[in-house]
Each structure stands twice: as structure tokens, then as C-alpha cells.
Amino acid sequence: MKSKGRFVGQRWWSIGGLPSVFLLCLFFFLAGLFGSTLVSHQDVQLLTVRPRSRVLESVEEFDVLPNGDTGEHSLTSIPFQVLSWFPRALYFPNFATIEQCQGIVKMAKADLKPSSLALRKGETAENTKGIRTSSGMFISASEDKTGILDLIEEKIAKATMIPRTHGEAFNVLRYETGQSYHSHYDAFDPSQYGPQKSQRVASFLLYLSDVEEGGETMFPFESAQNMDANYDFRKCIGLKVKPRRGDGLLFYSLFPNGTIDPTSIHGSCAVIRGEKWVATKWIRDQEMDE
Ligand SMILES: *[C@@H]1O[C@H](CO)[C@@H](O)[C@H](O)[C@H]1NC(C)=O
């Protein structure tokens, strides 16, 4: 490109007697120049506007490798967004279908009871009233005759690469207007709860409904903000994740070395308008009994 340009430039001075040839050259040179800037400009636009489709395209062109006995012979695409490193939190858009969400809500509705808390020394049901005001129920994938929870559980296992045997039963929760869950840890600190047989490593929340207003999952200490002794556990601050039906939120309660990540504290902001439905799966470092 550059040498061509210089060639045309020399002609300008030496071949004054052949204006038509020169003009023709100039025309093609300029056409080439503008054409190429136009194309490269479009490339840039394509990259910035539609990066996702490019990523998917390249995945489709990938030749799958021979899989092991416990592996799979095709590629799985589960898109996610890293929401935070402190705590380690990932967002999975469209993790479940609308029909799957509706099915889970339907199976949970009949069995809802007021949600309870794991109590620390000195805590009673009475003096912890108001900390968690949702209703909920537990259901394992094997109890669900529709097969929906089986599919969801398998997908969670793939997304986390933690086997299904490490998951507790699904806890399906409903928050009505005004209901919330003060900030808390899903992991159990032995200094507060006594020795633990196993520990919760991560939590996967599947949002089963949209919420008109409020009801966000909040991480008040995200990136070590607000970590002072005066933090009011009711306060809806920090990183807030707005529930969207079918989307999943995964976060880790433990660091890779097994200690509790202080920034994994989280809660549910009060629902202001609408109703919030969520299915939670707690994932442990040990296999569950049974
Ligand atoms: C565990 O990992 C965290 C985060 O990297 C670190 O801050 C902490 O000191 C570690 N604790 C132990 C006991 O190794």
C-alpha cells in the first residue's frame, strides 16, 4: 500500500504529459484508500456492536475433541458475566426457560411455609423475627416428577463443575411486597455456629420471576466497601442484582483456600412492588448424605 502511494507520487512530478493515466492511477488509489478505511471502520463497528455473535461463531467452528467416558461429545454454551471478584460472582442470563420457571413456581406454591434461620448462640426464633420474612419450601430434583429440577441441577453442576451430589435440595422462596432478608453469610462460621460437618462453598440463585421494583440480591461489602462495624444489616447497599426471570446468579462463599470470603455477605432487598420468586441451591464441599 505504502510503496504504491510513493509510486503514484513520483509519477506526479515526472509524467506531466500523461494526465489521463495519472488521473486513472489517482482515482484507483483514492478509491482503494477510501474503500479500505470504510471496510476497516465497519470491522470495528461490528466488533463493538456485536461481539457476542462473533464469539459464538468461533465456538461453532471449533472441532470437538474426543471425550472421556464421563465427558460429553459436544460443546455446551452457557454464557455468563463476571459481576465481581470480591465476592466471586457470576451472572447467567437465560439460564432457564420461562416455562421451567413457571413450572418450579407451580410445584412450590402448595407447600410454602415461613422461611427459617440457622440460629447462633443466644438466638431464638422470637428474637430473630424480621431478619428473613420470605416463605419457602425445599424440593430435591428427585422429588420433582416434571423433570425440570433435574435439568436445572445438571446445568448448575456443569456451570460450577461441582458434582450434583454436593448440592442441597432446592430452596424455593417467595418474597411478597415488603419482605426481605437481612445480609448474612451462607457459609457457617464455626466460631458462631459450632463445628460443621461440611461447609457451603457456593450458592446458585435462579430467579423465577421479574420484580417490578426492589427485591435485588445485594452484596453490601462488594470490593470491600462498607466493611465497618457500623454496617446496618438491613440496609440495601453495595452491588445490587435485579432479579430477571430465568437468569442465574452464582457466588462463592469460600476463598479457594477454604476460608470464608467476608465479601460474600449478601441479602435480599425488600420487594417494593411485585413478587419475587427464586430457587436457591447451596453447594457444599462434601457430598450430601443419601
Ligand atoms: C485464604 O485466602 C484469602 C484470600 O486470598 C486470604 O486473604 C487469607 O489470608 C487466606 N487464609 C489462609 C488461612 O490461608
Q: Which atom of ligand 1 is nearest to the CA of 257?
A: 1
Categorize the per-residue pLDDT at 245 as very low, low, confident or very high, splitting at 50, 70 and 90: very high
- 146 grid coordinates: 416434571
Q: Whose CA is nearest to atom 13 of ligand 1?
A: 259
Task: Answer yes or no: is pLDDT of 251 > 90.
Answer: yes
- Span 187-208, mean pLDDT? 96
Distance 259 CA to ligand 1 centre (A): 7
Q: Mean of the per-residue pLDDT values for the chain?
A: 86
Distance 261 CA to ligand 1 centre (A): 9
Residue 138 DSSP SS3: strand
- CB of 138 closer than 6 angstroms to any ligand 1 atom: no
Whole-prediction pTM value? 0.80
Mutate to test the pocket of ligand 1, among 85, 252, 259 (most ligand atoms within 8 A of CB): 259
By mean pLDDT, which of 18-22, 69-73, 285-289 is the weakest?
18-22
Q: Report d(CA 275, CA 269) in Å as an integer.
A: 12
What is the structure's pLDDT at 68? Answer: 98
Categorize the per-residue pLDDT at 41 as very low, low, confident or very high, splitting at 50, 70 and 90: very low
Amino acid found at 231: Y
Q: Report d(CA 79, CA 94) in Å as an integer.
A: 9
Task: Answer yes or no: is pLDDT of 60 > 50.
Answer: yes
Do 208 and 242 contact (CB within 8 A), yes or no?
no
Higher pLDDT pick, 249 / 125: 249
pLDDT in tens, 148-160: 999 999 999 999 9
Q: Report d(CA 181, CA 175) in Å as an integer.
A: 9
Categorize the per-residue pLDDT at 24 as very low, low, confident or very high, splitting at 50, 70 and 90: low
